[in-house]
Amino acid sequence: MKIEELKKYNEQLPELHTVIEAVQKSRPLTLEEGMLLYKNYPLEVVQTLADYRRERLHGKKVFYNRNIHIEPTNKCVYACKFCSFYRSPKSSSEEGVWDYTFEDIEEILESHKTQNLTEVHITGGVHPTHELDWWTELVRRVKKILPGIHVKAYTAVEIAFMAKQEGISFKQVLLELQKAGVDSLPGGGAEILNSEVRKKIAGGKAPSSHWLEIHKTAHELRIQSNATMLYGHVETLEHRLEHMIEIRELQEQTDGFNAFIPLKYRNVNNALSHIKETQEEDDLRNFAVSRLMVQNIKHLKAYWVMLGIETAQKSLSYGVDDLDGTISDTTKIYSMAGSIDHPAMTVMQLKQIIENQDFIPVERDSIYNPI
């Protein structure tokens, strides 16, 4: 459906006329308008609005990249209830813990050397004893083996812990990481920024104010980043909308976020396993609402690794313009939570998925320059 055809709903749907005008003029939607998108408007209406916005930004282009993940450890000093990945630092390898040495990681990098990678994404558990030097040395070694590679490394939660450990400011940590070769930050660790929700699901780790401050400081240092939102657990729709508005307001100030990434909560093997996962229709609507609410972040990413290929493919018609990467079976964060086992996609497969939906695949680098 085209946006002009939505007029037929004007009589039935509250405020539709105003919402259409806001989307056309790229005016930020209010929380109340966001709630209408979630609760009152039929899915096809929200889809049409999101698709219009997507098309205005990117035409028929859908982005992908060639990347691998490095997850140096799943030992973690925290124990977020939604997390299936972490193990207590006291756990043994029989209990599923790993803690790579530099040599282990170098071996992984060497084995991917011929894949024309453009990005290495590094994130993992918050290690109890590794200090900032260890993390900077890791980045240096990555760059030595893969010269010119873009290193997207360490979530704000990991960075907050490094600052605490060293007794230095977030800015000092970021400067050290930048000096070592970190090019951008991933968006993880935001979960839901509401403090009460955060206390319930991720008590103990960096509060949302720290997450926001670290990204703001990074942007001021010209380190770009992404922003995630973990949805589908104990949060309300209002919490999601408030989260998007906070991210959007920071973007207004800094213009440093490249992509907004809604992450679906997966319920296998964690302390919230009693919560049912969201249905595909909810996921698609959530992508569309994200596209419309966070109107000032250019890219909306669907991690096929977490969503499954079919849903990720459908999300392209709900505002998504980026599917992320080839991955090469290098992440366990999502498979341990019940998503795809051994995730890997060839460039050919990614292109096919995109073309099958009548979009144009575009390989990108980490800051969305076409390659």
Q: With contacts defined by CB under 6 A, name the span among 72-80, 92-100, 140-148, 213-221 that binds ligand SF4.
A: 72-80
Number of residues that bind ligand SF4 (CB under 6 A): 12
Smallest distance, Å, CB 125 to ligand SF4? 4
Q: Choose the binding region for ligand SF4 from 31-39, 77-85, 93-101, 342-350 (rule: CB under 6 A).
A: 77-85
Q: What is the rounded CA–CA span in Å between residue 218 and residue 324?
A: 22
159 is a contact residue toward ligand SF4 (CB under 6 A) = no
Q: How far is CA 22 from CA 87, 153, 191, 209, 229, in A?
A: 46, 36, 27, 29, 23
- Tokens at 326, concatenated: 């080839």
Degrees, nearest 5: CA angle 227-229-230: 140
Q: Which CB sits closer to ligand SF4, 240 or 332?
A: 332
Task: Answer yes or no whether residue 261 interacts with ligand SF4 by CB under 6 A.
Answer: no
Q: Which of 71, 252, 59, 249 is closest to 155 using CA atoms?
A: 71
DSSP codes joined into one string, 137-161: HHHHHHHHHSTT-EEEE--HHHHHH
**Which CB, 263 or 312, lies closer to ligand SF4?**
263
Task: Give the contacts of 369 (CB within 8 A, at least 6 positions apart).
Answer: none
- How many Cβ atoms are within 10 Å of 266's Cβ, its own excluded? 25
Write each residue from 194 to 213 as x if it is in contact with ligand SF4 (CB under 6 A), else as -, in one continuous string: --------x--x--------
* CA gap 189, 20 in Å, rounded: 33
Residue closer to ligand SF4 (CB basis): 78 or 100 = 78
The structure tokens 């302390």 sit at 271
| Residue 123 CB coordination number (10 Å) | 21
Taking the least distance from each CB to ligand SF4, the nearer of 194 and 295 is 194
Does 157 contact ligand SF4 by CB under 6 A?
yes
CB of 266 to ligand SF4, least distance (A): 12
| Nearest-angstrom CA–CA distance, 110 and 46 | 45
Q: Which is nearer to ligand SF4, 130 or 248 (CB)?
A: 130
Tabulate helix, strand, coil % of the chain (nearest 5): 45, 15, 40
100 binds ligand SF4 (CB under 6 A): no
The answer to the question of residue 239 lying near ligand SF4 (CB under 6 A) is no
By CB under 6 A, residue 97 contacts ligand SF4: no
Task: Considering the complex, state which of residue 52 and residue 161 has its C-beta at the smaller distance from ligand SF4.
Answer: 161
Contact call for residue 231 and ligand SF4 (CB under 6 A)? no
What does R_g of the chain's alpha carbons equal in angstroms? 20
Work out how close the CB of 268 gets to ligand SF4 at its nearest, in angstroms, rounded to a whole number.
14
DSSP 68: E
Stretch near ligand SF4 under the rule CB under 6 A, chosen from 73-81, 234-242, 250-258, 334-342: 73-81
Query: Could you tell me if 150 and 366 are in contact, meaning their C-beta atoms sit under 8 angstroms apart?
Result: yes
CB of 71 to ligand SF4, least distance (A): 9
143 near ligand SF4, judged by CB under 6 A: no
Give contact residues for ligand SF4 (rule: CB under 6 A).
76, 78-80, 83, 85-86, 125-126, 157, 202, 205
